[in-house]
Amino acid sequence: MITKIERRIKIKHRVRNKISGTADRPRMSVFRSNKQIYVQIIDDEAAKTLVAASSMGLDKMPKCEQAAKVGELIAEKAIKAGIETVVFDRNGYLYHGRVKQVAEAARKAGLKF
């Protein structure tokens, strides 16, 4: 029987075969743990993380609000770094809940997917 984590990793590999980040359009990868949410903007050609944000230093608030705040943070940092368009990588997670909140907040803050 396949576990939940193995299933997510299988989906992740399937998605990553189709998308990759370039210098013009880097990949925005989301990682979700039980307590925190982390977002990186990655240039896969140079194998380099350009911008990163997480919910580690934020105040206590519900997880969905934390995710929206991280989405705004990453968009703010990306625009300062000169990145306007990205490819969204949900990392095997469903586009639902906290992952969706990050994406919508980043779009609202000015990033284009």
Predicted model pTM = 0.91
Residue 100 lies in a domain: yes
Q: How far is Cα 69 from Cα 73, in angstroms, rounded to an integer?
A: 6
| Residue 63 near residue 43, CB atoms below 8 Å | no
Q: How far apart are CA 105 and CA 75, in angstroms?
A: 8
The answer to whether residue 113 sits within a structural domain is: no
> Which ranges of the chain have pLDDT less than 70?
none
With a CB cutoff of 8 Å and minimum separation 6, the contacts of 71 are 39, 101, 102, 103, 104, 105, 106, 108, 109
Domain count, the chain: 1
Q: What is the pLDDT of residue 102?
A: 97
User: Is 18 within a domain?
Assistant: yes
* Confidence (pLDDT) at 15: 92
Closest CA to 93 of 22, 29, 50: 29
Indicate whether 88 belongs to any domain. yes
Q: What pLDDT does 99 receive?
A: 97
Quick one: pLDDT at residue 16? 92
Question: Could you count the other beta carbons within 10 Å of the beta carbon of residue 9?
Answer: 14
Please report whether residue 83 resides in a domain: yes
**How far is C-alpha 14 from the chain's CA centre?**
17
CATH number of the domain at 80, please: 3.30.420.100
